Amino acid sequence: MKMDRRQFCALGTAGAFAAIAGGMLGCSSGEKTPAADDKAADAAANTQADAASAKAAAMAMGDADVNFAQEVDILIVGAGISGMFAAIDPAAAGKNVLICEQNGTFGGDAIYSAACQMCSTAKLTQEERPEKYSTPEEIREKFAPYYEEGDPALDFTVLLQTWSGKFIDRMHYDWGYEFQPLRESPYHQAFFPKDGLCTMNSEFQLINQKLEEAGAKYSFETTFKTLITDENGEICGARFTKKDGSIFDVKAKAVVLAAGGYVSNQEWMTRYAPEYADLGNIVSGRKGDAIAAGLAAGGQLWKMGPTSNLNPRYEAGHMLGTFYPIICVLPNGKRFYCETAVHNAATGAIAAGYHEWYTIWDNVAQNGQDQELLKHAGEAIQSADSVDELAEKMGLHIETVQGIFDNWHDICEAQEDAEFGRTLFLQELQPPFYFIRNVPVRYKSLGGLKVDEQMHVLDANDQPIKNLYAAGCTAGTEDIVPAAASGLIVAETLVAEV
Ligand SMILES: Cc1cc2nc3c(=O)[nH]c(=O)nc-3n(C[C@H](O)[C@H](O)[C@H](O)COP(=O)(O)OP(=O)(O)OC[C@H]3O[C@@H](n4cnc5c(N)ncnc54)[C@H](O)[C@@H]3O)c2cc1C
């Protein structure tokens, strides 16, 4: 199936606004959609230096004639949790589904994540932990204060939260996955994988099994470059490059953009979340390529901004607080947040004027069941047999470190944390001690392509762009469960429409 450039156009992305500013790459006419033009004009500001190289690379790509190597019903960009869930139901319904993924395996960010799956709308929530269950009306009431009156993003949040329950229930009731039984923790609205924190691999093995049983296929090490349109300007496929640099054009009736967010795109972070732009980033390959492609196709952005929280470089430095007695202190020896409100660690340190903090624990956590969490920190974890040795290794004055333990002793004895209100795990630590020095990092982005409640990508007039869908962070979700939920929603849409 070889078509020349008059018949097919590649919509440029090259992973940067810079490339969008170059227009629809590869179109022989050089035409641009008005929406793409407006967005490009806005987005192109301050990007001149990067523009030249990005554009040159993308133009070379776009110049090659479209030559479809494969034809499918549904083409999904990205094998993260949203892309995988987008694939399963349509494949089971007999559609020919291909997922193209830049990496060598599936799972995206979630497979390496802390695996804390917040959900209060599942049947399983109702059954196991009814005090945490919420109806859609209660969800709306809870989230309404965070949105302006009439903001469609609130409806979308309610929709995602409602479908979040379907993800948990699909895993548990339909597929037999046993989440971890409830443990003492402030997070009873969260589900964890059966083997504890950071063990999402077991869930992904099952999701992958269901995907393969349904008949969906992957093409790994296949990197998305541009969308392709037909002679009527409608999306009809996408262009990828393979590991060896060769071009791989795929024809499809529907394209789902599920390539994650833009946290590793420094330029976008500076633009949309400047307060986090100067922090380190622990995620690679989330450059917003798919979001840029949706914009070039006439889509619009929504919800762009800073994420609800930050991460520590090493997750043990905050996530241990979910289940174990830990003490977190700044270099001045002061505690600075309630350690069981785990995600307040990084933002709390910054708010206190620091870009580092220490987390101290003992054998209760070190020998606990969440070994994978500790493994993620590797050799960053140090141990000490006494307070003196701890002070020496932490590089802090012995009086400062002794003060940490004296203060903690008083809190444990009183069983009251007057300063931060912590009520769980008020237990003294015993040697040997373990500690980690941490820094705040960014690890996810917020905002993406505006979609409707069926996950169609919307144009500037809020009309669906034909054959184009988005899910997960590409559509502006922030966490694991809403990403999976968005995959389930787009799956239902695709079964009906393709
Ligand atoms: C360290 C860390 C810890 C986290 N902990 C939690 C947690 O405990 N709880 C929680 O709810 N959330 C957590 N998150 C966030 C959560 O993992 C994400 O929100 C979620 O996984 C997003 O899923 P997704 O499918 O939208 O995107 P992703 O998981 O980003 O998947 C996108 C996929 O697309 C691929 N891709 C990207 N660009 C291209 C391209 N050009 N061509 C082809 N493929 C491409 C990527 O390789 C990836 O496989 C964490 C994230 C990180 C990084």
**Spacing, Cα 99 to ligand 1 middle (Å):** 15
Choosing from 113, 286, 303, 370 the residue with most ligand 1 atoms within 8 A of its CB, the one to mutate for a pocket test is 113
Q: What is the pLDDT of residue 10?
A: 61
| Mean pLDDT, rounded, for 225-244 | 96
- Region 357-381: what's the mean pLDDT? 97
Assign 27 a pLDDT band (cuts: 50, 70, 90): very low
- The number of CA neighbours under 13 Å toward the Cβ of 228 is 31
Q: Is the per-residue pLDDT at 4 higher than 50?
A: no
| 413 Cα–ligand 1 center, Å | 43
Q: How far apart are CA 409 and CA 253, in angstroms?
A: 65
Helices (H), ranges, 93-248: 123-128, 136-143, 152-169, 201-214
CA of 301 to the centre of ligand 1 (A): 19
Each residue's pLDDT tens digit, 63-73:
689 999 999 99
Residue 130 DSSP code: G
Residues 6+ apart with CB under 8 A from 274: none
Q: Rounded to whole angstroms, what are the CA distances from 440 to 223, 341, 358, 478?
A: 30, 15, 11, 18
List Cα–Cα distances, 89 to 220, 260, 394, 472, in angstroms: 21, 20, 52, 16
Whole-number Å distance, alpha carbon 334 to ligand 1 midpoint, is 34
Separation CA 498–CA 493 (nearest Å): 8
Confidence of residue 47 (pLDDT cuts 50, 70, 90): very low
Q: Of the residues 480, 486, 490, which should be mutated to test ligand 1's pocket, given the most ligand atoms within 8 Å of the CB?
A: 480
**What domains are there in the chain, each with its CATH number?**
9-106+214-307+445-497 (3.50.50.60), 114-199 (no CATH), 311-442 (3.90.700.10)
Count of beta carbons in the 10 Å neighbourhood of residue 411: 19
At 11 the pLDDT is 57
Instruction: List ligand 1's pocket residues with C-beta within 6 A.
Output: 77-83, 100-103, 108-110, 112-116, 223-224, 258-260, 282-283, 285-286, 289, 311, 443-444, 472-473, 478-481, 483
Per-residue pLDDT, 64 = 85
Q: How many CB atoms lie within 10 A of CB 202?
A: 13
Q: If we measure between CA atoms, which residue out of 209, 74, 71 comes closest to residue 495?
A: 74
82 alpha carbon – ligand 1 mean position (Å) = 9
Q: Distance between CA atoms of 100 and 78, rounded to whole angstroms?
A: 6
Chain-centre distance for alpha carbon 91: 24
- In this prediction, residue 30 has a pLDDT band, given cuts at 50, 70 and 90, of very low
113-166 pLDDT per residue, tens: 999 999 999 999 999 999 999 999 999 999 999 999 889 889 999 999 999 999
Residues 6+ apart with CB under 8 A from 104: 220, 221
State the average pLDDT over residues 393-399: 98
Question: Do 243 and 260 form a contact (C-beta atoms < 8 A)?
Answer: no
Distances (CA, A) of 6 to 29, 229, 230, 468: 8, 11, 9, 21
Average pLDDT, rounded, for the chain: 90
